[in-house]
Structures are given as C-alpha cells and as structure tokens.
Amino acid sequence: RMDKISFARIVGYCEQFDTQSPTMTVWESLVFSARLRRVLEKDARSHEAWCEEQLGLLKMSSMKHLRIGGLGIEQRKRLSIAQELSANPSILFLDEPTSGLDAQ
C-alpha cells in the first residue's frame, strides 16, 4: 500500500481552470515550475533547456515572452500541462483538458 507522500511524488494533476499568474510571461512561469519541481537538477541551464524543449513540443516557442493573461484558453491549458510535466509524474490526471477548445 502506498502512502500519501509517495503517491504525491508520482502523480501530476491539471485543474480545469488554471491558476497561473496573468502578469508572468510563459517563460517565467515555466522556468519557475521547473526550478521548483525538478529539484534533483541543480543546474539552472538544465532547467532552461528542459523548458525550451517543452515550448517546442507544445508549439509555444513564439509565445515565450508573452504574458499569460494575454494567452487563449488552449495555450493556457498547454502551459498548465507543461508545468505539471516538470515534476516528471508517472501518472498525470487532467480535469476537463479539452473544455473550451476547438474540435480541431
């Protein structure tokens, strides 16, 4: 049987509505999450390299310096998922990941 702390270490969770600061840029927010949650990597360059990779995968590289408050719902959801992935969870729970998005 797994205790709560062990469970929390392997699980990520994205809420339906994000809780990101609208005044931060996409880059600031993602780097903050990486530094906070990727504690085994002490090197800031490795955090930033991970963030660059995630932005590329999410097709958000061109939005790197935009404020979160100016993003659309889809971009905010993708950013929330990237932030949770920074903890490298084994399991990721997504609460209504497609609500408010186009069918495409």
What is the model's pLDDT at position 28? 95
Q: What is the pTM of this model?
A: 0.78
Q: Which of 29, 26, 18 is nearest to 95 (CA)?
A: 18
pLDDT one-digit tens code per residue, 88-99: 888 888 887 777
Residue that wins the pLDDT comparison between 16 and 104: 16
Determine the pLDDT at residue 9. 78
H-assigned helices in 21-99: 26-37, 44-57, 73-85
pLDDT tens-digit readout, 44-89: 677 788 889 989 988 899 999 999 999 998 888 889 888 888 888 8
What are the structural domains, with CATH classification, of the chain?
Answer: 4-94 (3.40.50.300)
